[in-house]
Structure 1
């Protein structure tokens, strides 16, 4: 074990630390964190609708919250909350990404956010058209054609034609936009930042107010950056987009969806779980280092599940998962926390329980008593660095194995339809069991699956805690 630890400290830790400190990845992590006020507000709205609209329907036959006074108003208000948050989370993320990336380059953050947002909107489809063959009476055709200038609907040669311009498709402004934003928004912001750093700007007299001067200074870098992305969108429209696809929909179908589907495999889930634990063991915040992967793949999946759940309920989510059309996914970001990372990464609350029951070491018991309360709310830093678990060879194996077993149990239960998939972004400080209950739209079976993982984690940790009793003279 000492040989492995020494090798990891020499080769793995410096590499992981370098990756974790890479400014673009740090900015991306902070961009995801920056969307939390909106995504959590939207998640609370969906959660409240789950309580008043969906949960009673599971126990009361014929229950319809949309017909009950007060309840239907609550549902309607939560609908507006969803419309301004999760429905357009791509816009929110675009600004957050540009803002944090500009801050990483130490240039005007506000302008960086605006550039990234503008780069997203450049590629959104503002028009649509479709046609359906049908026969209509002459009187009906005349009425339709008379209003075509306003409606965009016309009838000719046995076909009903529908078209419009000046609209925004929510499917290109929600989580579907994340992958395009990361690339296009990042490219635009980096071009802007590089030009700012090289001082290719409009110089204003000292008498001009600072706010005005900063805005004018950003004009040339922002214009060049946005022209670069506009040209890229134009070239795409002439090549890969000839069939009518916009870049966002094309990237979603050809790049994002395959990544999301790979993320549904148990092997990919176990690999990421392993890496997060491994980084923590060497004092690195594994969840933060892996945030671009966790949020970029499974976080997007959670946003998709939430949107489908808000529109069509759990039945709609399951139908979308079964269809495999990329609208919903079985395993998403909240699934890790529901079934493996209770009490923090490593399932550390189970370690504390085992210590309090079996440990004879006074130092361990003292840390466990102090750490149990924070661990209930999934805060495990006092245990990680106080016990410590970090660089503790005795706890290497259980700290890695416990969450791997947890995600395996959760994945198998969800795949077998023994429990509903996670559909609600739940605040990470919610205690275990309640977390899985809320995140699955109040599926009562979810806490039972969590309990199975919980018991398995206790069984894994117990022999190692007993072994630790012999590593130091018992007080």
Structure 2
């Protein structure tokens, strides 16, 4: 195990640390995270429109169309909101005006959509690719827009306003040339040449979304990478999430649309799958370990366990990862990596066999796991049972390693006490 950590520290840690701080991946992560409030609130309107109680569902049925309006204007426009956040974050990383970067990114993305003329209603933009389905295009267009802005700004190819002009006006004129180039390029490609940017990108990523993103391997690989990175002291979710979250959001959007259309939910593994059924208590499903620690004979482990209990219930586990510690700790790293892979396989097959409902709601991530799983699956009580089973499995997996580590800590504590008596 020491050799494994040496290899990780020498070969994996430096590139992974660099990757997590790469400006484009960081901008994607921050931009998508900026939409979480809208996604969470919007997704709850879907629960209201389709409540898990049959009698209540009958009562709201006549009003479903109106109830779904907030859902369609939040989740349904997720890619538009994300494009602004990505553009803003990326522009700020280059020390450019964030607002200009965000606005240009939105314009670039919307230009990939083709407005349709509907008699009696004027021109309308189709929403099919404005939500999770358009997330990949939103990312590409945002990066393109900001890179054009940066390129022209670096070469001073912008309108400079005289001193005394308000900053907001000056920034608008500085974005004039970049805006013209961005709009003309995308308009030419999409509307004059007729090249379907949205369709091309979706076809390009379709194997990734359908295969890696929603298969058993698509579940096990992220689990393994996230836990091994955490064990090496790197924030695994930040690294993997920047790459995988757009895929997870596409899967979630397809599930939401399926529920809204009244058809079977197609995808097993959007992000709530990991959040509520795998990362119970945080990455590595450490809530099971916390439960053992609060009753530990070791004073140190007991104090860390008690301090970690409330955060752990709310899926915040940095206190135990760095406090126990799990990081660079061979005894606790093995169950930290192995346990979530076992519960991941169990949960995958439980949903593949339709024994438990598939997640389609993005519930607030700080909820206790059984409540979050219940909400994420639209009120499936079987999801609560599965979460409790997974907690029990994690407790069983952690137990022998915890006892071995507890024995080691007790010996150290006894040695320290004897040393203090001698002094």
- Say whether residues 1:350 and 2:288 are aligned partners: yes
- Say whether residues 1:101 and 2:90 are aligned partners: yes
Cα deviation 1:351-393 (Å, max 9, x = unaligned): 0112234x32211111001110111110111111111111112
What's the CA shift for 1:227? Answer: 2.6
- Say whether residues 1:118 and 2:117 are aligned partners: no
Match of 2:370 in 1: 433
Cα deviation 1:406-433 (Å, max 9, x = unaligned): 2111101000110110010111001011
Kept in 2, the 8 Å contact 1:302–1:423? The answer is yes
Which 10-residue stretch deviates more, 419-428 or 276-285? 276-285
Match of 1:45 in 2: 45
From 232, 244, 247, the equivalent of 1:282 is 232
Match of 1:33 in 2: 33
TM-score using structure 1 length: 0.82
What's the CA shift for 1:109? Answer: 0.9
Kept in 2, the 8 Å contact 1:188–1:225? The answer is yes
Match of 1:261 in 2: 210
Match of 1:450 in 2: 387
Q: Which has the larger radius of gyration?
A: 1
TM-score using structure 2 length: 0.92
- Say whether residues 1:78 and 2:67 are aligned partners: yes
- Segments of structure 1 that go 5 or more residues without pairing to the other structure are 129-148, 152-163, 322-328
- 2: distance between equivalents of 1:362 and 1:77? 57
Kept in 2, the 8 Å contact 1:264–1:331? The answer is yes
- 1: distance between equivalents of 2:86 and 2:254? 20
Match of 1:317 in 2: 264
- 2: distance between equivalents of 1:354 and 1:344? 16
Kept in 1, the 8 Å contact 2:280–2:369? The answer is yes
Kept in 1, the 8 Å contact 2:360–2:378? The answer is yes
Q: Secondary structure at the match of 1:406?
A: helix
RMSD: 2.1
- Say whether residues 1:301 and 2:251 are aligned partners: yes
- Segments of structure 2 that go 5 or more residues without pairing to the other structure are 415-423
What's the CA shift for 1:272? Answer: 0.7
After TM superposition, the runs of 4+ consecutive aligned structure 1 residues lying more than 4 A away are none
Question: Structure 1 residues 402, 150: closer, same or farther in 2, change over 3 A?
Answer: closer
- Say whether residues 1:233 and 2:190 are aligned partners: yes
Kept in 2, the 8 Å contact 1:27–1:100? The answer is yes
- 2: distance between equivalents of 1:150 and 1:467? 73
How many pairs were matched up? 411
- 1: distance between equivalents of 2:174 and 2:142? 20
